[in-house]
Chain A
Amino acid sequence: EIVMTQSPATLSVSPGERATLSCRASQGVSNNLAWYQQKPGQAPRLLIYAASTRAPGIPATFSGSGSGTEFTLTISSLQSEDFAVYYCQQYNNWPLTFGGGTKVEIK
């Protein structure tokens, strides 16, 4: 099973600042990686798939990069609605696995 490790566990950022979230795979997953945002009491929301392709309706402030084992989600200028938990997920190997999440909180 591929283990997905996200860092940091918690990221404190001021509104308007940039946030950089990391996701590392225990073995290569090519670009078969997705990012999700989840707010309390809500279902996850797909932000990025294929490592860098934004899902429909996702603002350009969200960008993804990486390939193989190292991936990054960047939020260029944090808005109040962006404070949430973010998960990465690999879909290259069976079973599909999620990272443990990064909570982005207001500094």
Chain B
Amino acid sequence: EVQLVESGGGLVKPGESLRLSCAASGFTFNNAWMTWVRQAPGKGLEWVGRIKSKAAGGTTEYAAPVAGRFTISRDDLKNTVNLQMNSLKTEDTAVYYCATPAGITAAGYAAWGQGTLVTVSS
């Protein structure tokens, strides 16, 4: 069974940092392109960024609002993907999901975690 489990969310002050993790199981993680998507309270979905598989270069791309502040990394030995968030702003408050096609579909995000809530407030 494909499973994604996020952790690391919490309450932080503006300007602080937080590191989220997503533990994956049930699929070939080292082949997967992993994505982070967030959802502010009561709002829609916002794509945050992704990391390609190492075979595809392992490169990362980010949405403009987080570029330069957020960094995505992966550990293929531990089957985890991380989201390092620095210089957090109140507008970064959201539920953060990791997602991936997981080899289930050729496109789209067929697998999602349950999400972890990040609250940025003074």
Contact = CB atoms under 8 A, between A and B. Distances in A.
Given A99-B44, A100-B44, A94 B61 contact: yes
A98 B112 contact: no
Interface residues of B, number: 21
A44 B63 CA distance: 19
Given A43-B113, A44-B45, A100-B44, A56 B104 contact: yes
Interface residues of A, number: 26
Contact of A49 (B63, B106, B112): B106
B109 A44 contact: yes
Interface string A46-62: 10111001011000000
Interface in A49-98: 49-50, 53, 55-56, 87, 89, 91, 94-98
A34 interface: yes
Given A43-B97, A98-B47, A101-B44, 13 more contacts: A38-B45, A43-B115, A44-B45, A44-B109, A46-B108, A49-B106, A53-B105, A56-B104, A89-B108, A95-B47, A95-B61, A97-B47, A101-B45
Interface of B: 37, 44-47, 61, 63-64, 97, 99, 104-110, 112-115
14 contacts: A38-B45, A44-B109, A48-B108, A49-B107, A53-B105, A55-B104, A55-B108, A87-B44, A89-B45, A95-B47, A97-B47, A98-B46, A98-B47, A101-B44
